[in-house]
């Protein structure tokens, strides 16, 4: 079968891009279609892939204005000529699932979440600096995006969700069933951790991640906090931080693993669709302090691999941090828990699911149209 991979955009590197990397391992010869591609924002290994960006790559200053072009993404993905492919696998939290397969082709969508800014607009905008005028201007575009989003789901043969909470959203907004396959987590060779006094947080520094809670909580407790990663929220976070907060910027894989192994605990204050970072910390044998919502409920085991806090307030985070100062965790047991989310497990489950979807399509279509 001729296979193509489709991804929303390649101008940032996070959990969704790690899923794409794993899918590319399954199909190393498959080209990757995407809206825009910034090689500087991606790991060097990606430069060996066959990446085919859309015509949006030629829009003026797209690196800075890519969010302003929101209504163009559906057009970009629908413009791809994918008639040469029998199997299409989209990695999507917004637009990639909107491609148009040829008749008889099979489309499997790994859905990180239904379009967050379209379906959970209030939650999304609550952390963004959008005034009343900008919010009003978004009303009609968001209606159009929601309409397109629902219509485009009819072009998907099978949905895969990264967590149970995302599967519930897929049913709520699209009325489609989804198989849950957690995203891949890199599990490095086990080394006994040597935890220090600092707490750790990080990832993409953007408002909805709520890293401001971790920064303010540790500032008020006068406890050391290291924050890795970069993003448009960094300036605001630094303004909130006391002298005990250290911003590290982007770090290498090795540096991040060392940070996990050396921390007292990893703080995860946002509501994520899944959240790979907590499992990376657990792979290093370190406990996680997480907000009790979203994917964290499926990965953190209270009392065994960490603890929850139940309100997104500075005070609630402070209480959880203070409690961990006297708690003891079994580092190797935490590591064993993380191993069930490893990369090889993801590849095995995706391979089996794709085989099942292809076989079912062949049976239903009498092998017509599938070459």
Q: How many CB atoms lie within 10 A of CB 1?
A: 12
Mean pLDDT, the chain, integer:
92
**Is the pLDDT score of 367 beyond 80?**
no
> Where along the chain do its domains lie?
3-184+343-365, 199-339
3-class SS at 211?
A: helix
Look at residue 230 in the predicted model and tell me its pLDDT: 92
Please, are residues 135 and 81 in contact by the beta-carbon 8 Å criterion? Answer: no
Look at residue 364 in the predicted model and tell me its pLDDT: 81
Contacts by 168-171, CB closer than 8 A, 24 or more apart:
169/113, 169/114, 169/119, 170/111, 170/114
pLDDT tens track for 92-110: 999 999 999 999 999 999 9
3-class SS at 335?
A: helix
The rounded Cα 200 to chain-centroid distance in angstroms is 19
pLDDT tens track for 157-201: 999 999 999 999 999 999 999 999 999 998 999 988 888 899 999
| 138 vs 331, more confident | 331
Look at residue 363 in the predicted model and tell me its pLDDT: 83
Label residues 315-332 b or e (16+ Cβ within 10 Å = b): ebbbebbeebeeeebebe
**Is the pLDDT score of 91 beyond 80?**
yes
Look at residue 128 in the predicted model and tell me its pLDDT: 63
Say what percent of the chain tops pLDDT 70: 95
- Give the single-character DSSP code of 247: E
- Taking the C-alpha atoms of residue 134 and residue 344, their distance in angstroms, rounded to an integer, is 45
Strands 51-53 and 106-111: unpaired
- Taking the C-alpha atoms of residue 105 and residue 52, their distance in angstroms, rounded to an integer, is 20
Look at residue 139 in the predicted model and tell me its pLDDT: 78
Look at residue 370 in the predicted model and tell me its pLDDT: 45
- Taking the C-alpha atoms of residue 15 and residue 220, their distance in angstroms, rounded to an integer, is 30
Please state which of the four CATH numbers 2.40.50, 3.30.420, 1.10.3470, 3.40.50 is assigned to the domain occupying 3-184+343-365: 3.40.50
pLDDT tens track for 208-218: 899 999 999 99
pTM score, whole prediction: 0.84
CATH architecture of 199-339: 3-Layer(aba) Sandwich (3.40)
């Amino acid at each position: 079968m001729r296979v193509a991979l489709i991804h929303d955009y390649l101008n940032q590197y996070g959990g969704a891009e790690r899923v794409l990397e794993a899918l590319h391992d399954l199909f190393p010869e498959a080209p990757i279609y995407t809206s825009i591609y910034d090689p500087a924002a991606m790991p060097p290994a990606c430069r060996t892939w066959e990446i085919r960006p859309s015509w949006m790559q030629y829009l003026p200053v797209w690196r800075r204005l890519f969010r302003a072009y929101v209504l163009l993404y559906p057009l970009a993905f629908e413009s791809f000529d994918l008639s040469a492919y029998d199997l299409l696998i989209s990695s999507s939290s917004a637009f990639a699932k909107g491609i148009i397969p040829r008749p008889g082709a099979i489309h499997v969508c790994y859905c990180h979440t239904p379009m967050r800014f379209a379906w959970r607009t209030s939650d999304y905008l609550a952390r963004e600096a959008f005034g009343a005028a900008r919010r009003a201007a978004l009303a009609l575009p968001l209606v159009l995006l929601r309409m397109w989003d629902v219509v485009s789901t009819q072009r998907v043969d099978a949905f895969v969700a990264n967590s149970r909470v995302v599967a519930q959203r897929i049913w709520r907004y699209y009325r489609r069933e989804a198989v849950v396959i957690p995203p891949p987590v890199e599990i490095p060779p086990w080394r006994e951790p040597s935890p220090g006094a600092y707490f750790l947080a990080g990832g993409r520094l953007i408002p909805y991640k709520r890293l401001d809670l971790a920064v303010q909580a540790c500032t008020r407790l006068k406890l050391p906090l290291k924050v890795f990663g970069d993003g448009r929220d960094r300036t605001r976070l630094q303004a909130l931080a006391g002298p005990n907060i250290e911003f590290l910027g982007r770090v290498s894989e090795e540096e991040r693993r060392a940070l996990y192994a050396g921390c007292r605990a990893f703080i995860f204050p946002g509501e994520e669709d899944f959240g790979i970072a907590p499992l990376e910390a657990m792979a290093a044998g370190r406990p996680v302090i997480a907000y009790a919502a979203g994917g964290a409920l499926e990965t953190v085991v209270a009392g065994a691999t960490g603890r929850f806090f139940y309100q997104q307030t500075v005070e609630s985070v402070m209480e959880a941090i203070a409690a961990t100062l006297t708690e003891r965790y079994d580092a190797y047991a935490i590591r064993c828990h993380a191993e069930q989310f490893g990369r090889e497990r993801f590849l095995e489950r995706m391979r089996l699911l794709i085989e099942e979807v292809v076989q079912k399509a062949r049976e239903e279509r009498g092998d017509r149209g599938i070459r």
